[in-house]
Amino acid sequence: MFDSKQIKEGPSAKLHFLDTLDPKLMAETMIAFANSDGGILVVGVKPDGAITGQQYGTDVEDALRKAEEDCNPPVVVGTWEQVDVDDKSIVAIRVPRSIELHAMSDGRVLVRDEATNRPLGGHEIRRLASDKSTGDFELETVPGATLDDFDPDVIEAFIKKRNERTRKEWTGSSEELLMEIGACNAKREPTVAGVLLFAKYPQQWLPQSGVVFVKFVGTEPRGEDGLAGYARREEINGPLAKVVENLWNLTWGEMAVSAVVKGLERTETYEYPQFAVREALVNAVAHRDYRLKGRRIEVRMFSDRLEVISPGGLPGFITVDNIVTEHFSRNPRVVSGLFQWGYIEELGLGIDKMIEAMESAGHQKPNFDAKPYSFTVQLYNARNKTAQPAPEITRNVNGRQARALAYVRERGSITNREYRQLSPDVSPETLRLDLVDLVEKGMLLKIGSKKGTYYIIK
C-alpha cells in the first residue's frame, strides 16, 4: 500500500505528482519510469504537495488506457490504488522498470532526471537500448545450478534484513520469496541474480563475479627493476553480500590511520572518508556488467590514491557529466538485493554523498574515468592544506554538537546511531533534539527518513 507520508518528501527520481488524470502527462511519466528504475505516479497532488484529489472510480482505467495508446510499446503498469489523505482521495500508480525501450507516439524517449522527465538525444537512446538487454541477463537461468547450491544461512540472513528494512514480516516460504525477487523461476531454476546473491560459491558458474584487491608500495603498479610492486594481493569470492563485507573489511584494515590529540580528546583520522570508500566498493559490485567474462572488479590501493575499477562502462544514458543527477541500474535485481541487505543506504543518493564526504574531509573530488568497457573511481588521500579554514560552526552549540560537527567533517555524514556512539551516556531523545537543533540553525542538512536518515554539512 502506498505510504502517503512520502508526499511530504516531494517529487523525486522515483515519485511524480500530477494534479489531474491527464493521459498525455501520465504517458510521459510512465515512459520515464519504465525506461529508468521504475517509480510511483501519484494523481491528485500538486507539485508543491497540496492534495486536490477526488473520488475517481473508473476514470483511472480510462485514463490509463488512453495513456498506454501514447506509449510505444505500451508500458505495463504494476498496480494502482486509491488512497484517502486528508478526507480526499488520491491515486498511486506503480510503474516497474521495463526491459524494453519505450517512446512516446511522437518519438520522444524519456527518462527520469531527478524529479522531472527528460527526453534523450540520439546517442543516449542507442546506449540505453543497448543496456536494456542486461535486465534480461539477470533473469537468465544458470545451467548446472540448482536451489541446493544456495546457502540457506545466507537466505535466512537476507530475509531477516529484508524484514527489518521493509518493517514487514515475510510470511511465505523462502522459495516463494526467491521467485518473487527473481532469484529463481517458476521451475525452481536459479537465475544469474539468484546465483550472485545466494549461491554458496557463485564463482563456480560466474568466475568474473569475484574481486581482486592489491595494495601497492608506491604510486605505480610496478616496483624497482620491473619487479612486482605490491605488498598484498587478495582474491575475494562468495555471494555478493559477503564479497561486499569482506572487501570492506580488507580495504578498511589497510588504510593508514593518524591520531590528533586536542586537550583531553584523541581524534583518529583515516586515510579516506569511510562513506566515500564504502560507496565506491558497493557501486562496483552492484553496477558492474556481469556479462563481461574474463575480468573481475579490481581494487588497487596506492600510496597516494585508491582505485576501484569496475568492468563495463557506465550503464544506459548515464555519463560522467550527469552521474550525480541521473540514475539507472544495470542490474536492478542485484541492486534491490543489496539494498534489502542494507549495503545500499538509499537508492540514488550515493555519488553526491561520496563527493560531499571527500570534500568535507579536505580531499579533492573523486575522479571518474569512464571507458567503453570499464569505469574507474579514484579517491586521492592528499588533503588540501592550502584550503581556507572552515567557518566557525561551534558557536552557540554544546560540546556534544561540536563533536557531531567534527565527525561529519571527517566522515562526510552522521546517523543517529553514530551520534549515540559518540555520546553513549546521553539519552537518545536528547541527542535527537541536538541534531534537530543543528538542522534548524542551518549547520546540518537532513537526508532521508526513518532508519535511512543521515545528516551532512549544509
pLDDT of residue 313: 81
Q: Rounded CA gap, 43 and 51, in Å? A: 9
Pick the CATH number of 6-119 from 3.40.50.11540, 3.30.230.10, 3.30.950.30, 3.30.450.80: 3.30.950.30
Q: How confident is the model at residue 390 (pLDDT cuts 50, 70, 90)?
A: very low
The mean per-residue pLDDT over the stretch 13-27 comes to 93
CATH number for the segment(s) 208-313+323-331+344-380: 3.30.565.60
Q: Rounded CA gap, 356 and 350, in Å? A: 10
Which amino acid type is present at position 164?
E
Q: Summarize pLDDT for 258-301 with one digit per residue, the tens.
A: 665 555 566 667 889 988 999 999 999 999 999 888 889 999 99
CA quadruple 114, 118, 123, 125: dihedral positive or negative? positive
DSSP annotation of 290: T
- H or E segment at 260? strand 257-262
Q: Summarize pLDDT for 200-232 with one digit per residue, the tens.
A: 999 999 999 999 999 988 888 875 555 566 788
Residue ranges of domains in the chain: 6-119, 208-313+323-331+344-380, 399-457
Q: Rounded CA gap, 105 and 101, in Å? A: 13
Please answer whether residues 203 and 210 qualify as being in contact, where contact means their C-beta atoms are separated by less than 8 angstroms.
Answer: yes
Q: How far is CA 320 from CA 194, 325, 346, in A?
A: 30, 10, 21
CA quadruple 286, 292, 296, 301: dihedral positive or negative? negative
Task: Rank 65-69, 239-243, 321-325, 415-419 by mean pLDDT and report only the highest.
Answer: 239-243
Show the cell assigned to 305.
Answer: 590514491
CATH number for the segment(s) 399-457: 1.10.10.10
Q: Rounded CA gap, 454 and 444, in Å? A: 10
Please answer whether residues 352 and 296 qualify as being in contact, where contact means their C-beta atoms are separated by less than 8 angstroms.
Answer: no
- H or E segment at 90? strand 88-95
Per the prediction, the chain carries an average pLDDT of 85
Return the residue matching grid coordinates 537518545: 428
Report H helices in 258-373. 274-287, 332-341, 351-360
Q: How far is CA 368 from CA 63, 284, 315, 351, in A?
A: 43, 12, 14, 10
* Helical packing angle, 240-253 and 152-166, nearest 10°: 80
Q: Kindly report the pTM of this predicted structure.
A: 0.65
Candidates 286, 347, 281, 334; CA nearest to 309 is 281
Q: How confident is the model at residue 347 (pLDDT cuts 50, 70, 90)?
A: low
Greater pLDDT, 414 or 266: 414
Radius of gyration of the chain (CA): 24
Q: Rounded CA gap, 275 and 36, in Å? A: 25
Show the cell assigned to 278.
Answer: 564504502
